[in-house]
Amino acid sequence: KYLGCGAHLKSLRRLSCGLLTLDQALPVSAVEARGDQEKIPLISLSRALDFLRGLRLSDPVVARLRMGRQEALSGLPAPEAGEGMMRLLDSQDGMVALARWVDDAAGGRWRLFRVFGC
């Protein structure tokens, strides 16, 4: 009432983001307690983005993508309904790149959005 409106937000707490939940998080104190001596368990980039369809690629295609060669995407399947991004994976399911579907005069094609290091 003091603000002149029917309600206000007292607090806001994010409990999840996509498939990641608060149960998977480490408190800052736990990270600090590990110090520099102990590795912190991290969620892989591929796992964090596993809500996107993933496509496992052959080693020669992976090598071309890592050099930024767009033509390596020409053989990829068309997107499924509502799909605009796809994870491109190596033979061990490691994240190689993200591809984005771009509509064009020919109907559309995949384009590299981000390429990740080895």
Q: Structural domain of residue 74, as residue ranges?
A: 16-115
For the question of whether the overall pTM of this predicted structure is more than 0.75, the answer is: no
**Does the residue 105 lie in any domain?**
yes
Q: Is 97 inside any structural domain? A: yes
Asked, for residue 5, whether it belongs to a domain, the answer is: no
Q: What is the pLDDT of residues 60-83, one digit of tens each?
A: 999 999 998 989 898 888 888 888
Question: Which has the closest alpha carbon to 41: 28, 29, 25?
Answer: 25
Beta-bridge partners for 97: 88, 115
Question: Does residue 4 have a pLDDT over 80?
Answer: no
pLDDT(18) > 70 = yes
Q: Per the structure, how many domains does the chain have?
A: 1
Let me know if residue 82 belongs to a domain: yes
Is 2 inside a domain boundary?
no
Report the CATH number at residue 32. Answer: 2.30.130.10
User: Could you tell me if residue 83 is inside a domain?
Assistant: yes
Rounded to an integer, what distance in angstroms lies between the CA atom of residue 47 and that of residue 21? 13
